[in-house]
Amino acid sequence: MPSHICSGLKYLATIELKSNGYSQREIANELAINRSTVSHYLNGRNLSWNSIDVAKTVTQLSPKDFLILTQSLFKDLQMTQKIISICKIRNYEAEVSDTCIGCGLCVDLCLMKAVSLDSLKANIDSIKCCGCLICLEGCPTDSIKILEVFNDRKYKKR
C-alpha cells in the first residue's frame, strides 16, 4: 500500500509539472521515473484511482503532516523534497528576528534544507520552505516566524 501512495504522489506531481509546461522527458528526469511511466500517468492508465485519492488527501494535510508522511512513505529525503516542492499548495515567507543566536538547530531540523546560517543568523529560503514549522518549534529563542503568503509562484526547474 505505501508504494501505491508513492505512485499516487508521483502521479500528482506529474500532472502538476505537465500543467507548468514540462515535457515528458523533463518530468521523467525530475521525478526519476522512466518516460513510459510518465506517459501512462498522463494517459490515466495503470493507476489505481483509489491511491490517487489517498495521495490527494495526503497533500491536503497540514504542511508538517504532509512532509513527515511523505518522508516516511518514500524514505528518501531528496524525493520527499521534490514531491513537497511540486505539490505544496501554499507559499511561505520566513522572518528571523535579531534574537537569533546562530545555534544552527533549525539548519539541522529542516528536512527541506531551506535554512542556512549567515553571520550567526538563520536565513530561510522562502522558495524551499514548506511551512511545516519544525524549525519554529525547535528554535530555543523563538526567533522564527513563518508567514503564509499568496503568490502564483510555480515549481521551477533548477
Partner 1 sequence: MIVNTKNVEDKDFDIKRSADELRNLSFKDHVCIGCGICETTCPVEAISVGDVAAILRSNASDSKLSIDEDKCVLCGMCSGLCPANALVLSINGVNIADIPAYPKYESYAEIDEDKCIYCQRCEIACPREAITIARSLPDRSKLVTGEIEVLDEECVHCGICEELCPADAILVNRTPGAESIAIDKDKCVYCLVCKKSCPTTAIKASCRICSYGDYDIDPADAATKGSAFIDDELCINCGWCEGVCPTEAAKVKKPFTGTLEIHQDVCTVCGTCVDICPCDVLSFPEPTAPAQIVENVGKDEEYCIKCGACEKACPVNAIEVNVTAVDYTPTKSKSWIEKLEALKN
Interacting residue with partner 1 among 141, 147, 149, 154 (CB under 8 A): 141
Least CB distance from residue 155 to partner 1, whole Å? 24
Which is closer to partner 1, CB of 98 or CB of 152? 98
Using CB under 8 A, count the residues that bind partner 1: 18
Least CB distance from residue 120 to partner 1, whole Å? 4
Least CB distance from residue 115 to partner 1, whole Å? 10
Query: C-alpha cell of 131?
Result: 511551512
Which residues inside 74-133 make contact with partner 1, applying CB under 8 A? 98-105, 107-109, 117, 119-121
Which is closer to partner 1, CB of 15 or CB of 105? 105
Exposed, middle or buried: residue 108 (CB in 10 Å: 0-12, 13-18, 19+)? Answer: exposed
Residues 6+ apart with CB under 8 A from 124: 94, 96, 106, 114, 115, 135, 144, 146
* Residue at 84: amino acid letter: I
Which is closer to partner 1, CB of 79 or CB of 100? 100
Which is closer to partner 1, CB of 54 or CB of 102? 102
Residues that bind partner 1 (CB under 8 A): 98-105, 107-109, 117, 119-121, 138, 140-141
